[in-house]
Amino acid sequence: MHSAQAKYAYVWRRRLSDAFSTLRTAIVGVSGYSGAELARLLLRHPRLQNTLPLFLGHYGTESRSVALTDIHPQLSGLPNADDAGVTGWNWNQLQREGVDLLFLATPHEQSREWVPEALARGLRVVDLSGAWRLRDETNRAVYKLHDADAALAATVQAEAVYGSPELHGPAIAKARLVANPGCYSTSIILALAPLLRANMVDLDCGIICDSKSGVSGAGKAPTPTTHFMNAADNLSAYAVFGHRHTGELLEQLQLTENQIQFTPHLLPIPRGILSTIYVRLADSGTTENIQACFDAFYAEAPLVRIRRSPALPQIQHVVRTNFCDIGFSLSPDGKRLVIVSCLDNLLKGAASQAVQNMNLMAGWHETEGLL
């Protein structure tokens, strides 16, 4: 554990002696892969031991309940997990249970419909879907969303905060609505943001992002593409020039579509993302100044680990962890740079980043329950 992580781990242990929080959380969509990881993290969160999360299923089926561990047996033995049930819900259910913060691990269309109502009822929301990530209507069109009240949706969209703690921590802390980033987007944005903000990249030469993800990134519902017979012993590109995370790259990195090309690939593994990013520097650089750029940018970011060049991250080093690992290799001429960024798509790419955002919204340290 490097010194910064040791410091935050120490602070976290000290805070275990503090009184538990009364924050009440709820998860809608707990049956999916990301929902399961979110449930696991909240059940073990040191601040939430006296306030069991509410696990909710389909709207309007409040009387029906199923044991959480029947859906996710792997959670058995965690604090309160074996006694927890997943119930149907309606808005009054959330009010009766005293819910303060709502996690939506729901389809994009559902989140787009429900968030305005949640905010009107005084709830704060962390939305894991893509419904509120994109401000530009052209970028958002890939989700094919339809708003019953376009004016209200525009107002809500204007206050949504993109949930990258490393980039928008202060805004997240004050937000009512946090739009959790996409998994691919997180791996690429964190890798490029330090260099772009330092104006070190020659944008005229373009940026190439070659990303590969495990099958869980496609969600729990089976498809012909993610079926074992297609995914096993295979590697395939998909959504070329049209992946829905592209808009996040454009907006968060302030790039045009002519300056960056993102191509995702499906790996025959359960989970994990590796993004290999190719850039040309505006001026000849050195390994030392590239390293210094990353180190300085993420000096106060405990869940981003910067490797020492020439060491490069691998999926096996981040899977089932809450970290994003970043490394790089610089060409001998000092002009061409390859960056490798790895994370677990279900954790730093989804559930643990959502908990990181919750911590900031609650006024806690962002690593509580994650280190």
| Strand stretches in the chain, DSSP E | 25-28, 54-59, 65-67, 85-89, 101-104, 124-127, 161-162, 177-179, 207-213, 236-237, 260-266, 273-280, 304-306, 324-330, 336-343
By the 10 Å C-beta count (0-12 exposed, 13-18 middle, 19+ buried), 53 is classed as: buried
Report helix angle 351-362 to 165-174, nearest 10: 40
Q: For residue 205, indicate whether it is catalytic.
A: no
Does the N-terminal peptide bond of residue 310 adopt cis geometry, omega within 30 degrees of 0?
Answer: yes
- 162 C-beta neighbours (distance < 10 Å), count: 22
* 183, 209, 324, 342: the active-site residue: 183
Task: Give residues with Cβ within 8 angstroms of 236, minimum separation 6.
Answer: 225, 265, 266
d(CA 354, CA 165): 10
d(CA 63, CA 123): 23
Q: Which residues are bridge partners to 65 per DSSP?
A: 87
d(CA 364, CA 8): 12
3-class secondary-structure state, position 171: helix
Residues labelled as active-site residues: 183
